[in-house]
Structure 1
Amino acid sequence: MGVETGVAGRAVGNVPAEMTSFVGRRHATAEVKRALSTARLVTFTGVGGVGKSRLALHVAREARRVFPDGVWLVELAKLGDPALVEQTVAAALELLDHSRRDAATVLAEFLADKHLLLVLDNCEHVLARCGHLVARLLSAAARLSVLATSREPLGVPGEQLWPVPPLSVPPADGDAQVPEQLPEALVLFEHRARAVAPDFTLGQDNWLAVARLCRRLDGLPLAIELAAVRMSILSAEQMLERLEDRFALLTAESHTALPRHQTLRATVDWSFELCSEPERALWARCSVFAGDFNLDAAERVCAGAGLATGEVFEAVSGLIDKSVLVREECGHVVRYRILETIREYGRQRLEQAGDTAAVLRRHRDYYLHLAEQAEANAGGPHQYQWAKRLRAERANMWAALDYCLTVPGQARAGMRLGAALWFYWIACGFVRDGRYWLDRALQADPAPSRERARALWIDGWITTMQGDKQVSLALLKEGRSLAQELGDDTELTYALQFIGAAKKMNNDLSQAIPLMDYVLAHYRESTEWPAVALTIFPQRVMAAGLVGDTDHAMDLLDECRAICTPLGERWALSWALWSAAVTWWVAGDYPRMSSHLRESLRHKRDLNDQLGIPFCVELLSWVAASQADWTQAAVLRGAAEMMWEPIGRPLFGFVTLLDCSKEWKARTREALGERAYQTAVQHGAQMTQEEVIAYALDGP
């Protein structure tokens, strides 16, 4: 590390020149330079390998003109004894004081009239000593600025934290074409790959593999650079195949790098060794989480031998400070995330400790309990909150289901979990996911059980909603037979309810209505209304409407409203209102149809009912067409068609409604003309969900 000199040979810094090109971070560089103009201490935090040091040095070089007394780098990574921090800083500043005064005092006096930037790199392992020194120097030197890198804050008053994120990577579902502006991670990979393979070019034939590789490496610059070095002997596709043991593969060959930077494992090892024993235990155990998680989950899943429940909070705090966990605010809830590379390292540590099976089992048990809590509350006033929570826990629920279906002897628990999530699958609009997991669970455990009987009718319900009529009836009838065999009256009643619903969807109302009436009478006698039972009302209201029994349909709607309102239930009520709209459509009363659809849509908007919203939008397009508002009808149709795509078949594949939809579509196209019709449809298709709902409720 050489000393840079200015006018008259005066030393103005020791920041080394860049040996390789600096990629990306333009916005961050500009923002940090601005931050240094107002905050005298800026600390870069982030996980090992994310590029804190590289960014700090780049910012330092960019900011040299602002500091007439120079920009000075103090490398602390090799320092083993915290007591040597002051001497290390003094040596970097070439301050050769031989007096008996303590080094901190010497530094304070030397810097008192200096206008310079001090870059303290890798402070985490001497954190307390660095914090004390920085606080003293900033107090003594009014024009001193400090830029620090650390895996946790220095804890000095006035410190401005700057978390360094990974480099940007392309989305997993992105375009197959090479984008005009490459994400930062791919630019870095290309630059470093060319250094070892000059003929390497990122093009159409390899960019998807490189993009996937960069995503697998979490956009971590160190990992990407170590991977790019291998382009001299491997292709990107070959590296992807070998990423099962990424740490063994990505070994740096440079002998000039610090030992902890020679492999990605060494980098993460170094972070692990800096943790307390409870923090190490938490790091290893939280590797079982998929996606993010909250404190309650951490306490229930990770507490155990070596980590008491009461220690989890402090361990979480410590891992956040060390940038192992990333803290994220989701509304009023704080959640934690661990990067994939760090998570995999923790999983290896968990396996070494022999704790993997026990922690995975606790993870499954926690999310099974959570799913059953959600099911128990699915018919109450907290539907939206539970739906939101289940959406946030999607990845963890999937991990728990996968555990059940891959660990011998756990498939029945998988059916139990998959069935308990019915509200998530159906009310939140993830019917495809629900069918996937329930199909797998049913196949994995064909033995007769109550769990199987329940999973069968829920899977049959889901397939009915997908319009898969033959499969849905087969599942429901199997569930009915199994419930009869087991003598389980509860599961039998549910199976009969959804057989009736399936027959209604097949237009077999002569068989559907008696079944529904039998089930409804059974529910009325029990006087208990769990969430699933309440769905009998929208099913029966629609059946009454389809046979022209409007008065009975409205009586059923009133009964549903009277039950749901005290419970605070809105989801089943929203569907009953939608079914009432179908009733008024049959009766030819479009104003009342519109009124019920709008009330239903307001409930569905508040619940974020992804499945129900397009049902309302579709039928409101019919209302608009009935009023000769052809443009609004076409816009709403375009929006509905776009919403149907992730759901599957529109309108549950109900032939009667589909025929009407085709008729209104043809009439709208004819009234507008092809060009105007397509323009309006495209306009609707490009709207956000919020815009569509506002348009449907309030008009253009």
Structure 2
Amino acid sequence: MMTESRYATRQLPLEMTSFVGRRQETADLKHALAESRLVTLVGPGGVGKTRLARHVAAEVRRSFPDGVCLVDLTNVREPSQVAPEVALALDLWERARRDPEAVLGEFLEDKHMLLLLDNCEHVLEASGKLAESMLAASPELRILATSREPLRSPSEQAWQVPPLSLPAADDHVSRRHEAVVLFEERVALGTPGFRVTPENEDVVGRLCQRLDGMPLAIELAAVRMRTLSAEQILERLEDRFRLLTQGGRSSPERQQTLRAAVDWSYDLCTPVERTVWARAAVFTGVFDLEAAKRVCSGQGLSPSQVGSAVLALVDKSLLIRAESGKRAYRMLETIREYGTERLAESGAEPDIRRQHRDYYLWVAEWAEVTSVGPHQDKLAKNLLTQRENLLSAMAYCFDTPGEAAAGLRMATALWYCWAVCGYLRDGRYWLDRGLALNRERSHERAWALWLSGWIAHLEGDHERGVALVDESGEIAEALHDEEVLAFAIQSRGVRQMNAGEFEAGARTLDEALAKHRARGRWTGPGLLTFALRVQAADLAGDIDGALTLLEECRSICAQLGERWALSWAEWNVGLMWWVAGEPAKAAVHLRRSLRDKANLRDKFGITCCVELLAWVAGAEGEVHRAGVLFGAAGRLWSSIGGKLVGSAPMVKWSHTESERAEAALGRGAFEVAIKEGRALELDALVDYALGTKRTAPKKQTKTSLTKREREVADLVAEGLSNKDIAARLVISQRTAESHLDHILAKLGFTSRKQIAAWVAGQPR
């Protein structure tokens, strides 16, 4: 055998640019290499597999006395050439002419070294077999491979490379986000002095989010900063494959443009996998295997073929397993956009989008069917997981001629998502959009009018709510629609209670209850009539009547396995005991209500419970606790777009109890308690409100506004309404409202006046 020095391994190439982030991934991969002899970094093109592998190899090279050898398989076209390429990298070419695998086995037998097999995806089977052969020949050999899918070797540990860390949608952009740091450093190479500052951090953060935190896409965007601003790049990202070109000339050809990187993945797919990739691009957000089979099958593809292709696309890192479940997936935006192009080229797009709509219409209708019963906790979770696809399906209906009726049906079927899961603004937007396109007097229109009016009432827009409900009642009477008519009567009773007409309100609610009982089919909003009738009894001082109604509600809900409506009845009994001057008894029912609402993730209901528990705390002399709960309730009201609803006395009581707690605690200490409550995460708040934790956990509140949020704050200080702010900044009113919610949450405020005072005190 020849001397060791003759076979000195190749040096890893010097990196021309800095390596950004990946500290945890580097540590985890070192640990993986210590445990497994073959570790394969898998992930989509452009996620940074090669760069990370080389960085880790350089970090661990001292642990391998015989060195580290890089084998780049990019240009290997035939499986038979994999072994010779490895031999060439080890300077064994002359001997490898006889039998490269045998020569490699002989050479590596006594070697303690690391082989880096880079870009194996197009010669996957050959790479896996050779890796096993070399590992069998050399007990001290370690192999670090990169591929878009696992090698499927028995001794392999597949390691998914994630995108770079990103700021969340409402998070402050900072240097702890790897994607932002990479963008800053790469832009500075072509534009010396460039920095992420408070003035540009908002657009940089959104740009990195739109690029999925993918290093290749970010580096290509950074090159474009020589001629375009970050805002201009963001505007042009709809055509990202044409925009993001001109990478470094030293990079492999497939990585010099974003399209080439994705084309490379597309070429490695089978025809069926390519078709499923294109069809799956209609999904937005998370989807499961059942959805993929229902939406992507047909036109020559069976559901089983779709299922197999989905699993193959996961292996190829073109679909990513979602955290919400083992059989749930999502697609990076870059991969989805590419698939959308291919779907349009195929001519199948209209049929696939209709199948997507049909499936999510079924999901919405099933949600309506199961909205009363024992599975409400699962329903809330499922709706939140599928929310993006549900909204996308509704948008398709309202944007496609002849499909508006299906869109309105979806919007009404999703009442649980709007009213229980806390998406009041979304619900009202989609219902009103559907109503504008469906003018025919029908059951669907009457029901949608009532739902939209109900949500308007929950948001505190009582005048609009009354108009919508009145129109709903008129249609129901004309059509003899007893179901919707019962709800219209129910709303009339609520209106009477809000006006202080408690006895009249009670009689009207009794009429609504009679209609619901006669129908014999209970829905969630129908069962809610019990809670409203209990409230009428509360306010009239009829304790016995309220408790009798509660027992009837409990009996019906027990038969159905229903918890949401019962939680509202419990809430109203809690209110009753508070009114009666029995705060301890009130707390029992309010906490019982809160437990159910927390399990159901009923954000609106949780907020109402926290509000009343603040009153209870004040009444029991726990004024700091009251302040914390008032602060938490204020933040929640802002986040869900709702307001404390009920009769005039209830609104007055809320102000009175807040002022009483502030007077007892002192203004400064009360403001501290308010901020403490506004900083609580939802789960921690529930624990605190239930009394399982007597002190609120400390959390550093964010007070730094983005550039856009500061602009909105300035306009609030000028006295502009949300509508006027939207017009001034050329954004939608919903976007302006969202910015306002973020400002209130970040600054720990509850009113526009506080924002105006804060702006006045800021340096110019």
TM range (shorter): over 0.9
Which residue pairs with 1:91 in the alignment? 88
Uncovered stretches (5+) of structure 2, i.e. residues with no partner: 695-764
Which residue pairs with 1:184 in the alignment? 178
Q: What is the CA deviation profile of residues 332-369 of structure 1, one whole-angstrom value per residue up to 9, with x for unaligned ones? A: 65310100000000000000001111111111111111
1:371-410 matched pairs, under 5 angstroms:
371-410=364-403
**Matching of residue 422 in structure 1 with residue 415 in structure 2:** yes
Does the 8 A contact of 1:469 with 1:506 survive in 2?
A: no
Q: Partner amino acid for 1:227?
A: A
Report the Cα distance in structure 2 between the residues aligned to 1:653 and 1:11, rounded to whole angstroms: 81
Which residue pairs with 1:129 in the alignment? 126
Q: What is the CA deviation profile of residues 448-499 of structure 1, one whole-angstrom value per residue up to 9, with x for unaligned ones? A: 2322111100111111111211110100011111222333222222222233
Pick closer, same or farther for the CA change 1:622–1:74 going to 2, 3 Å: same
**Matching of residue 263 in structure 1 with residue 257 in structure 2:** yes
Report the Cα distance in structure 2 between the residues aligned to 1:198 and 1:281, rounded to whole angstroms: 45
Does the 8 A contact of 1:467 with 1:653 survive in 2?
A: no
Q: Partner amino acid for 2:100?
A: A
How far residue 8 of structure 1 moved from its aligned partner, in angstroms, is: 6.4
**Matching of residue 220 in structure 1 with residue 217 in structure 2:** no
Which residue pairs with 1:509 in the alignment? 502
Which residue pairs with 2:653 in the alignment? 660
Q: Partner amino acid for 1:464?
A: H
1:78-477 matched pairs, under 5 angstroms:
78-98=75-95, 101-175=98-172, 179=174, 181-252=175-246, 254-330=248-324, 333-477=326-470
Does the 8 A contact of 1:412 with 1:452 survive in 2?
A: no
Of 52, 55, 59, 1:58 maps to 55
The secondary structure found in structure 1 opposite 2:251 is coil
TM-score norm. by structure 2 comes to: 0.87
Q: What is the CA deviation profile of residues 295-329 of structure 1, one whole-angstrom value per residue up to 9, with x for unaligned ones? A: 11111111112321111221111001000000134
Report the Cα distance in structure 2 between the residues aligned to 1:551 and 1:100, rounded to whole angstroms: 97
Which residue pairs with 2:720 in the alignment? none
Report the Cα distance in structure 2 between the residues aligned to 1:497 and 1:379, rounded to whole angstroms: 19
Report the Cα distance in structure 2 between the residues aligned to 1:541 and 1:478, rounded to whole angstroms: 27
Report the Cα distance in structure 1 between the residues aligned to 2:430 and 2:237, rounded to whole angstroms: 27
Report the Cα distance in structure 2 between the residues aligned to 1:260 and 1:601, rounded to whole angstroms: 55
Report the Cα distance in structure 2 between the residues aligned to 1:644 and 1:96, rounded to whole angstroms: 72
Report the Cα distance in structure 2 between the residues aligned to 1:168 and 1:532, rounded to whole angstroms: 42
Of 676, 683, 689, 2:669 maps to 676
Report the Cα distance in structure 1 between the residues aligned to 2:326 and 2:553, rounded to whole angstroms: 33
- Equivalent residues, number: 691
Which residue pairs with 1:3 in the alignment? none
Does the 8 A contact of 1:601 with 1:613 survive in 2?
A: yes
Please identify, of 613-622 and 485-494, the stretch whose mean Cα deviation from structure 2 is larger. Answer: 485-494
Does the 8 A contact of 2:84 with 2:93 survive in 1?
A: no
Q: What is the CA deviation profile of residues 371-423 of structure 1, one whole-angstrom value per residue up to 9, with x for unaligned ones? A: 11111111101011111100111111111111111112222211111110001
Does the 8 A contact of 1:97 with 1:106 survive in 2?
A: no
Which residue pairs with 2:576 in the alignment? 583
Report the Cα distance in structure 2 between the residues aligned to 1:494 and 1:661, rounded to whole angstroms: 28
Does the 8 A contact of 1:577 with 1:597 survive in 2?
A: yes
Q: Partner amino acid for 2:597?
A: K
Does the 8 A contact of 2:457 with 2:465 survive in 1?
A: yes
Report the Cα distance in structure 2 between the residues aligned to 1:203 and 1:692, rounded to whole angstroms: 34
How far residue 255 of structure 1 moved from its aligned partner, in angstroms, is: 4.3
**Matching of residue 20 in structure 1 with residue 20 in structure 2:** no
The secondary structure found in structure 2 opposite 1:650 is coil
Report the Cα distance in structure 2 between the residues aligned to 1:31 and 1:77, rounded to whole angstroms: 26
Q: What is the CA deviation profile of residues 173-208 of structure 1, one whole-angstrom value per residue up to 9, with x for unaligned ones? A: 233xx63x2522222222222333335343333333
Percent identity reads 49
The secondary structure found in structure 2 opposite 1:233 is coil
Does the 8 A contact of 1:363 with 1:400 survive in 2?
A: yes
Of 681, 691, 699, 2:684 maps to 691
Report the Cα distance in structure 2 between the residues aligned to 1:52 and 1:630, rounded to whole angstroms: 55
Uncovered stretches (5+) of structure 1, i.e. residues with no partner: 1-5
The secondary structure found in structure 2 opposite 1:12 is coil
Report the Cα distance in structure 2 between the residues aligned to 1:520 and 1:550, rounded to whole angstroms: 19
The secondary structure found in structure 2 opposite 1:381 is coil
Report the Cα distance in structure 1 between the residues aligned to 2:473 and 2:187, rounded to whole angstroms: 61
Does the 8 A contact of 1:278 with 1:306 survive in 2?
A: no
Report the Cα distance in structure 2 between the residues aligned to 1:586 and 1:525, rounded to whole angstroms: 32
How far residue 561 of structure 1 moved from its aligned partner, in angstroms, is: 0.4
How far residue 156 of structure 1 moved from its aligned partner, in angstroms, is: 1.4
Report the Cα distance in structure 2 between the residues aligned to 1:639 and 1:238, rounded to whole angstroms: 39
TM-score norm. by structure 1 comes to: 0.95
Pick closer, same or farther for the CA change 1:592–1:256 going to 2, 3 Å: closer
Report the Cα distance in structure 2 between the residues aligned to 1:679 and 1:35, rounded to whole angstroms: 47
Report the Cα distance in structure 2 between the residues aligned to 1:608 and 1:239, rounded to whole angstroms: 38
Provide the aligned C-alpha RMSD in A.
Answer: 2.0
